[in-house]
Amino acid sequence: MDRPNISLDAPGAPGTPRAQDALIDLIGLIYEGALENPRWKSALERMHALLGANYVTLILRPPTRERHMLAVFIGGKIKRYRLTAYDTHYHALDPFVGLPSDRVVSLDEIVPTSHWVQTPYYRDFMEAVGIYYMLGADIKTAHGGECWLRVCRPPNAEPFSREDKALCNALIPHIRRAMQIHERIDTLESERKLYAGTIDHMKIGSVLLDVRGNIVEMNGAARELLEREDGLQVRRQMLSASATRDNRELQQTIRDVLERRAAGSPSLVRAVSISRPSGKRNLGVVVREVPPGEWSDGVRGPAAVVFLRDPSTETNTRSDMIQRLFNLTVSEAELTLQLMHGMSIDEAGEAMGIRRNTVRSHLRSIFSKLGITRQSELLLLVFRSLL
């Protein structure tokens, strides 16, 4: 395979214009790789070609050990049983681990070639997969994450040159920064999933709208509710209420929130009650703005969120969770759960198979334990605490 002439006069300093262009292009792919799936696949494929490698591997170990490592592997196929053998046995024999931090080293700096080819690790494992020459770097981020970069060549290739090593050294600070971007994105994505999961758990629908009021995205609870077309539905990529009066109020509310956001006025939160053709209790709708980011143009991305709540839909909350959270008895927790599901006191008593006076006795005990006096306070406290 012909390789571009990557010549660097000094480590990290491009020599020829062609080398400089190749380096700039590769650095761009490294930063884009933080958003790619699989991560950094294009950058590693470019390194694979530029360096005439048969394998290029990038392994990321996050700062939090509970999270899984990310491994991106470019090159020929290695049979699964060999990878298993490495994990269970050959890893302990690998001399090319625990490298000096943040600089590229070659295998012959760790083990002389004459000794390397005599080791059981090379004869029994590396020779079979065609690995003879290796470059590597162990890179650390400020937050404790680690990255292991390995570039390999077969025995019939040329040894890695000073220029090859200098190219990889020039990439290290960019790989480190891209890793830090990846860590930040990964943290934000975890937080997003947490909040989205909480909303889903409470059976609250959420619909994101753009600056024109068109639907950008919705969660499963919203999709399920809108598919019933009982009070609310989707028309021409917009939310629409079944009743003309309700729809007029809904559209005006959405416009008010979006116009307030466009004007840079203080955040506006508006609520609307939507009647239903089925005769079930009204849907609760809350509309609020999604603040633009610091560098956002205010046009792209979500501009408003609409929260939807069907009072007849039960949450995924369990009574034992309520019992532990508020130190209630089993019956008190079950009563609280029934009230959360929109039942009246009489309906809750019937569902639990207990008398009205017993229900009221449980309710007084709950109020006393939680320091409240009204049923509305109970529901508000429970919903907030469970969130």
pLDDT digits (tens, 9 = 90+) for 261-302: 888 887 778 889 999 999 988 898 999 998 876 666 556 678
* Residue 10 confidence class, pLDDT cut points 50, 70, 90: very low
Indicate whether 145 pLDDT > 50.
yes
Check residues 108 and 343 and name the one with the higher pLDDT: 108
Tally Cβ neighbours within 10 Å of residue 43.
28
Question: What pLDDT does 9 receive?
Answer: 42
Of all residues in the chain, the percent with pLDDT exceeding 70 is 86
Does a structural domain hold residue 197?
A: no
CATH code of 378's domain: 1.10.10.10
Query: Dihedral (C-alpha) 39, 41, 46, 51: value to the nearest 10 degrees?
Result: 90
Question: What pLDDT does 354 receive?
Answer: 92
116 shares a domain with 255: no
Task: Compute the half-sphere exposure of residue 279: CA atoms within 13 Å on the CB side of its CA.
Answer: 0
* Residue 60 confidence class, pLDDT cut points 50, 70, 90: confident
CA–CA separation, 377 vs 387, rounded Å?
A: 15
Strand order in the sheet with 215-218: 215-218, 205-209, 304-309, 283-289, 269-274
| Total of domains in the chain | 3
Question: What pLDDT does 1 receive?
Answer: 44
184 shares a domain with 281: no
Which residue range forms the structural domain that includes residue 240?
202-309
CA–CA separation, 229 vs 217, rounded Å?
A: 18
Does a structural domain hold residue 1?
A: no
Question: What pLDDT does 267 receive?
Answer: 78
Question: What pLDDT does 239 receive?
Answer: 96
- What is the torsional sign of CA 64, 69, 72, 73? positive
Question: What pLDDT does 268 receive?
Answer: 79
* Residue 246 confidence class, pLDDT cut points 50, 70, 90: very high
Question: What pLDDT does 361 receive?
Answer: 93
Does a structural domain hold residue 374?
A: yes
Task: Compute the half-sphere exposure of residue 221: CA atoms within 13 Å on the CB side of its CA.
Answer: 23
Question: What pLDDT does 5 receive?
Answer: 47
As a whole number of Å, the end-to-end CA separation of the chain is 58
Does a structural domain hold residue 124?
A: yes
Question: What pLDDT does 96 receive?
Answer: 87
* Residue 27 confidence class, pLDDT cut points 50, 70, 90: very high
**For 198-221, what is the mean pLDDT?**
86
35 shares a domain with 183: yes
* Residue 13 confidence class, pLDDT cut points 50, 70, 90: very low
Dihedral pair phi/psi, residue 217, rounded to 5°: -160, 155
180 shares a domain with 35: yes
Dihedral pair phi/psi, residue 303, rounded to 5°: -115, -25
283 shares a domain with 141: no
Question: What pLDDT does 4 receive?
Answer: 45
Q: Which of 163, 190, 217 is the last residue of a domain?
A: 190
288 shares a domain with 209: yes
CATH code of 91's domain: 3.30.450.80
Q: What is the pLDDT of residues 146-175, one digit of tens each?
A: 889 999 999 999 999 999 999 999 999 999
> Are the C-beta atoms of 293 and 258 separated by less than 8 Å?
no
Among 142-146, 215-219, 253-257, where is mean pLDDT lowest?
142-146
Question: What pLDDT does 45 receive?
Answer: 94
Angle between helices 375-386 and 319-326 (to 10 degrees): 100
Question: What pLDDT does 374 receive?
Answer: 86
> Are the C-beta atoms of 281 and 311 separated by less than 8 Å?
yes
Indicate whether 366 pLDDT > 60.
yes
350 shares a domain with 296: no
169 shares a domain with 41: yes
* Residue 22 confidence class, pLDDT cut points 50, 70, 90: confident
Indicate whether 377 pLDDT > 90.
no
Contacts of 315 (CB under 8 A, 6+ apart): 201, 202, 203, 340, 341, 386
Q: What is the pLDDT of residues 294-339, one digit of tens each?
A: 666 556 678 999 999 887 766 666 788 888 888 999 999 989 888 8
> Are the C-beta atoms of 289 and 304 separated by less than 8 Å?
yes
179 shares a domain with 223: no
- The pTM for the full model equals 0.62
Question: Which of 13-17, 63-67, 179-183, 191-195 has the highest mean predicted lDDT (pLDDT)?
Answer: 179-183
